[in-house]
Amino acid sequence: MTTLETTSENRAFGGVQGVYTHASAETGTDMTFAVYVPPHEPGTKLPVLWYLSGLTCTHANVMEKGEYRAACARHGIIFVAPDTSPRGDDVPDAQDEYDFGKGAGFYLDATREPWARHYRMRSYIERELPELVAANFQVDMARQGITGHSMGGHGALTIGLRNPDRFRSVSAFAPIVAPSQVPWGEKALPRYLGDDRKAWREYDAVALIEDGARVAELLVDQGTADNFLTEQLQTERLETACREAGIAADIRMQEGYDHSYYFISTFMADHIDWHAERLG
């Protein structure tokens, strides 16, 4: 098992906010992630909520701005925030392109060069990191939830839909719901995966639902003043797909809120409360 290196640990709401680094076999790089462990009785295994960040972000954005610790402490939920992509000088990047390359891994396993060696965020999030977290923290892996923001909302929805037996609860903040049909995805997916649009569908929440993937319910918050809503997010596509598939989707359009962490932090406790009801 990979050894964890502790970057920092700080007391918060009776628990511990930590940042850890390890050598990832999937990405071939060192990866950093954040874990908040709430106060708990020794030996007690706790449910876990995974949070996937958006374009340009790292683990630090939600850790510093997300305001999740009080709610996680109240409910006894471990909160894990991975990075969004591989990092390092040897990792290929797209200079001056914020929506591709480092910071924009799209939670997929790339198949095209030069991206295929390192850009394996799907396998990292679905397999490697959960195994590492389970081995090093008191996590009840039978009680997992997943959420995320923007590109991370896309990640949460697609990972949740592909793994309905693993995740008891799935939510998102301003997710990219149909990346194969919007500019961000139409730019990233062919470069990572090639031109066969069928290969893109497993990384598109709306397409997954159209192809038969199901979860019992979803919670999504979307700001009406989000400048990415019309062109990139297109929340209405998810509403339609869930309605036609019979998925109970609580999609809340929040008046006047934008795409920022002011929006996320406002509704973070709501999401944690919602996950807590389902994680037990």
DSSP code, position 19? E
Amino acid at 276: A
Q: 34, 54, 153: which is closest to 104 by C-alpha?
A: 54
Active-site residue, selected from the candidate residues 22, 75, 259, 275: 259
- If phi > 0 it is left, if psi is from -120 to 50 it is alpha, else beta; for residue 13 that is left
Sheet with strand 78-81: strands edge to edge: 5-12, 15-23, 30-37, 78-81, 46-52, 139-148, 167-173, 217-223, 248-254
226 part of the active site: yes
CA distance 81 to 33: 6
Residue 94 near residue 101 (C-beta atoms within 8 A): yes
Residue 59 designated active-site: no
| Active-site option among 150, 169, 171, 180 | 150
Mode of pairing for the β-strands spanning 139-148 and 167-173: parallel
Among candidate residues 83, 109, 221, 226, the one labeled active-site is: 226
> Which residues share a beta bridge with 6?
20
Q: Report the catalytic residues.
A: 150, 226, 259
